[in-house]
């Protein structure tokens, strides 16, 4: 980067998306998806799906998070320090740890007997907190208006639950439990409507919060990342799943082609992963030194 450009133009954050930062994007996605799967599966008492959620969260989410750290061997310091009082990363690790520990106890106990509703309620609370912590961690960053909005955690809750419900539906259909599948699909319809409403509200509200927010939205929707947004997030991530939802609503879940259903589930997950990528990628800082005439184009960091 030219010294002249450095911090006099909008600067995209890079540490959480470039080089090893890509691992954090994957970590947030899999942790929230895994917790979402477990949360949704618990309502349908689907042990297989709960186990899948637990594994996605622990192995993929936790693994990517662990590898992302500059000093992975010191991760225990996050739990033992008093950082949880102010830091969302610290709170998040505590939520994830408690969710995974209690979730494992539940899964082991259910092998022999019913572990009880009370334990499951507690686990679901921690699963829910696991889903939201990433959104709150990003929401704290007031230098990046695209993240510093209360709608971001809400969007992550809805997308985490939607992704979880989609996977649970896939597992349910694969095991031939159509009646449970119909109930899950009703949840997916509601969550998908919420998701479709939230995305434009989130983008529009950020667009009008500040000049930097407007630049972030332009960068995502009209700039370098526009094709990815419209092609992957909107077409693949929203239109294909919506087509599947309409199709199964009209024809019934049992007559909807299974291949179409799985394609829609996969598309939905790809769309969710992509919008999370774009939110990280298009997070712009305001110029440190505002100099007129030099702010139109984000600089590569």
- In the complex, the residues that contact other proteins under the rule CB under 8 A are 3-4, 6-8, 11, 13, 15-16, 21, 68-72, 74-75, 77-78, 81-84, 86-90, 93, 137, 140-144, 285-286, 288-289, 291-294
How far, in Å, CA of 247 to CA of 191, rounded?
A: 17
Shortest distance, CB of residue 294 to other proteins, whole angstroms?
6
Distance CA(136)–CA(141), nearest Å, equals: 9
Of 15 and 186, CB closest to other proteins:
15
Minimum CB separation of residue 257 from other proteins in Å reads 44
User: Is the CB of 14 or the CB of 115 nearer to other proteins?
Assistant: 14
Least CB distance to other proteins at residue 153 (A): 16
Six-digit token pair at 15? 């540490």
Question: Which residues, in sequence order, are bridge partners of residue 67?
Answer: none
Structural tokens at position 104: 């494992």
When the beta carbons of 6 and 260 are compared against other proteins, the nearer one is 6
Which is nearer to other proteins, 82 or 179 (by Cβ)?
Answer: 82
Outline where 143-221 has alpha helix (H).
Answer: 151-174, 178-207, 211-221
Lookup: tokens for 194? 């919420």
Output b/e per residue, 67-101; b: 16+ Cβ within 10 A. ebeeeeeeeeebeeeebbeeebbbbbbbbbebbbe
Residue 18 or 177 with smaller CB distance to other proteins: 18
CA-to-CA distance for 208 and 216, rounded, in angstroms?
Answer: 11
CB of 149 to other proteins, least distance (A): 15
Q: How far is the CB of 126 from other proteins (least distance, A)?
A: 18
């Amino acid at each position: 980067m030219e010294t002249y450009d450095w911090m006099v133009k909008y600067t995209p954050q890079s540490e959480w998306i470039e080089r090893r930062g890509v691992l954090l994007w994957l970590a947030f996605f899999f942790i929230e998806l895994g917790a979402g799967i477990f949360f949704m599966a618990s309502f349908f008492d689907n042990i297989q799906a709960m186990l899948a959620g637990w594994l996605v969260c622990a192995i993929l989410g936790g693994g990517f998070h662990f590898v992302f750290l500059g000093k992975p061997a010191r991760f225990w310091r996050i739990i033992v320090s008093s950082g949880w009082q102010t830091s969302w990363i610290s709170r998040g690790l505590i939520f994830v740890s408690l969710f995974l520990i209690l979730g494992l106890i539940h899964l082991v106990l259910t092998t022999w007997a019913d572990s009880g509703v009370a334990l499951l309620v507690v686990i679901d609370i921690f699963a829910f907190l696991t889903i939201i912590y990433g959104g709150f961690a990003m929401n704290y960053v007031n230098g990046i208006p695209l993240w510093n909005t209360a709608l971001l955690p809400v969007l992550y809750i809805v997308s985490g639950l939607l992704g979880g419900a989609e996977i649970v539906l896939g597992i349910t259909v694969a095991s031939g439990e159509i009646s449970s599948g119909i109930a899950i699909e009703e949840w997916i319809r509601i969550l998908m409507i919420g998701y479709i409403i939230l995305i434009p509200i989130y983008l529009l509200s950020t667009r009008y919060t500040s000049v930097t927010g407007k630049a972030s939205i332009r960068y995502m929707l009209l700039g370098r990342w526009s094709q990815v947004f419209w092609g992957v997030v909107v077409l693949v991530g929203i239109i294909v799943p919506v087509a599947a939802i309409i199709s199964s609503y009209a024809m019934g879940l049992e007559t909807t082609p299974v291949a179409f259903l799985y394609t829609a589930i996969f598309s939905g997950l790809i769309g969710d992963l992509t919008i999370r990528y774009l939110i990280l990628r298009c997070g712009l800082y305001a110029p440190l030194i505002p100099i007129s005439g030099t702010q139109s184009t984000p600089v590569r960091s």
